[in-house]
Homo-oligomer: A and B are copies of this chain.
Amino acid sequence: MAEPWATSPSGQSLGIDLHIEPTGSGLRRGLTDALREAVRGGRLAPGTRLPASRTLAADLGIARNTVADAYADLVAEGWLTARQGSGTRVAERPVEAPRPAPAPGPRAPGGLLHDLHPGTPDLASFPRAEWLKAARRALTAAPNDALGYGDPRGRLELRTALAGYLSRARGVHAHPDRIVICAGFVHGLMLLGDVLRGRGVRDVAVETYGLDGHWNVLTRAGLRTHPLPIDELGTCTAELDTWGTSAASHGGGPAGAAAGSGVASGLGVKAEPGGEAEPGGEADGAGAVVGGGRGVQTLGGSAAVGAALLTPAHQFPMGVPLHPDRRAAVVDWARRTAGLILEDDYDGEFRYDRQPVGALQGLDPERVVYLGTASKSLAPGLRLGWMVLPAGLADEVIEAKGSTDWSCGVLDQLTLAEFLNSGAYDRHLRSARLRYRRRRDQLVAALSEHAPSVHATGIAAGLHAVLQLPPGTEQSVVRAAAWQRLGVAGLSSLRHENAAASPAPPDALVVGYGTPPDHAWAGALDALCRVLP
């Protein structure tokens, strides 16, 4: 009988597991054949180190010499190599197993020379050393049971740290019990979409401009998305009331009722342009209402919009914050209709000219789900986001998440908690704010010098700017950028497919000035100026 597999030497460096089943008769021959077949068939890739002959012999319960002889045979045949100090390895062959791609050089990914796509922070500024320090402290201090299957809400340490931080820095009403950690914003949105659909909601209002990846998550959950127009006061929330109370009164939908006014009565929304302009030039070139408004036709007769997905602090991508009157109005809509607001606070921490706008959630924690993420403030690769849920929704979301058993890795959760509690998160944000603000100022200065016909809007906050182009020029500028291998997004690529055709959508570029690493920023800015009219 074979010696126990587990009793092979465990401390030595060549205590490597190798699964091999000697074939046929004769131990040496059988082992040699099995090893050759494993190499020939590609199961053992070139360069793979084999166990020491003593280890493999113990695992297989055979004499060490038998293994040594089999190794020697295969070295002689050229399948293996044996070198002093390097052990026995599978020989390299002309046809090699795939290798990892080479580490990227100074070029941006995807064949781009410069990447100014919005949506990603400067990954080179991720605080690696600080993060590792926090990870060491967190893992050293963690109780053993933190490493087990955990609470579907996520680790209490992180939820407690986030409750404190979000209350203090974002004005969120947060309690650890109402916070659910998720693997980024999209994961949270998917859970919410499933819960809303389960409650019978069919329709979700979104913003005319945004990420179709988010809208698609809602569509896959069985929900229809309807774009709200955006003007210089932010998203036109009055449309919500039009839909909820008199959807049938618009333009001959299938349920086509009589006249009706569609008046957003009782909201007190100032829908006319003007009002308090945002600092930083937002008023320039953004005077018109853009998109939206036609989704009413697809809503049918009596369906009420049950939820609204908004970016109140800094509309993505337009960059305008939701006007205080509209903030109040949308909360009022949610209260009157038992609707739910999903607040996507993706970059709320980054505001440059005054304090960040507080979270909408603070106005009514029972009608607003607050969604935040570490993807912009730290790095998307962490896959960490969080939701602060109303009491009436928490149990359903927790159940939906728990039944699927995804949590995020606890080590990153504990590390982020330590990062927050030690103040490292605040320090990182402050230094990032200074860096991004400098880039924004350089962008504005470069535009005024090299492309005076282009106005930058939405620049009081965030990691991107909207460059308003002369009418009819967006496509040619996007093509010129592609030709120069400069990555930027045309505004039309971020437009909801059901957005109203009238008024005509503005021509614009969305420029992610946070994306490049510091050393590549100046070159990216030069490249941008070269393709602008």
Interface residues of A (CB under 8 A from B): 1-2, 4-8, 10-11, 13, 15-21, 38, 41-45, 48, 59-61, 98-101, 103-104, 109, 119-120, 123-124, 126, 128, 131-132, 135-136, 139-140, 143-150, 156-157, 160, 163-164, 167-171, 173, 175-177, 183-184, 186-187, 190, 213, 216-217, 220, 279, 349, 351-356, 358, 362, 375, 379-384, 403-412, 423, 426-427, 429-431, 433-434, 437, 517
Evaluate whether A99 and B160 lie within 8 angstroms (CB atoms) in the complex, with A144-B123, A383-B406 already known: yes
Instruction: Tell whether, in the assembled complex, residue A351 and residue B406 are in contact, meaning their CB atoms are under 8 Å apart.
Output: no
Instruction: Tell whether, in the assembled complex, residue A168 and residue B18 are in contact, meaning their CB atoms are under 8 Å apart.
Output: yes
The interface residues of chain B lying within 8 Å CB-to-CB of A423 are 13, 15-16
Provide the bound-state CA to CA distance between A135 and B190, in Å. Answer: 30
Evaluate whether A6 and B433 lie within 8 angstroms (CB atoms) in the complex, with A124-B144, A168-B19, A183-B407 already known: yes
Nearest 8 A/B pairs, CB to CB: A6-B433, A381-B410, A10-B430, A17-B169, A147-B379, A186-B405, A147-B381, A123-B144
A sample of 11 inter-chain contacts (CB < 8 A) reads: A4-B437, A5-B355, A13-B423, A17-B426, A61-B354, A123-B148, A128-B139, A381-B411, A383-B407, A384-B409, A409-B412
The interface residues of chain B lying within 8 Å CB-to-CB of A408 are 183, 383, 408-409
Instruction: Tell whether, in the assembled complex, residue A173 and residue B5 are in contact, meaning their CB atoms are under 8 Å apart.
Output: no
CB distance from A214 to the nearest CB of B (A): 10
Provide the bound-state CA to CA distance between A7 and B351, in Å. Answer: 11
CB distance from A478 to the nearest CB of B (A): 21
Provide the bound-state CA to CA distance between A147 and B167, in Å. Answer: 28
Evaluate whether A148 and B380 lie within 8 angstroms (CB atoms) in the complex, with A43-B167, A405-B213, A409-B408 already known: yes
* Protomer copies: 2
The interface residues of chain B lying within 8 Å CB-to-CB of A136 are 132
Partner of A358, one of B21, B382, B437: B21
CB distance from A398 to the nearest CB of B (A): 16
Partner of A176, one of B98, B170, B353: B98
Q: Taking CB as reference atom, which chain B residue is nearest A175?
A: B98
Most B CB within 10 A of own CB, among A43, A412, A429: A43
Q: Taking CB as reference atom, which chain B residue is nearest A354?
A: B2
Instruction: Tell whether, in the assembled complex, residue A403 and residue B216 are in contact, meaning their CB atoms are under 8 Å apart.
Output: yes
The interface residues of chain B lying within 8 Å CB-to-CB of A173 are 41-43
Most B CB within 10 A of own CB, among A5, A48, A99, A358: A5
Partner of A140, one of B128, B187, B217, B406: B128
Provide the bound-state CA to CA distance between A15 and B176, in Å. Answer: 24
Provide the bound-state CA to CA distance between A412 and B415, in Å. Answer: 12
Provide the bound-state CA to CA distance between A210 and B184, in Å. Answer: 31
The interface residues of chain B lying within 8 Å CB-to-CB of A175 are 98
Instruction: Tell whether, in the assembled complex, residue A169 and residue B352 are in contact, meaning their CB atoms are under 8 Å apart.
Output: no
The interface residues of chain B lying within 8 Å CB-to-CB of A146 are 381
Instruction: Tell whether, in the assembled complex, residue A409 and residue B434 are in contact, meaning their CB atoms are under 8 Å apart.
Output: no
The interface residues of chain B lying within 8 Å CB-to-CB of A126 are 144, 147
Partner of A10, one of B139, B156, B405, B427: B427
The interface residues of chain B lying within 8 Å CB-to-CB of A11 are 427
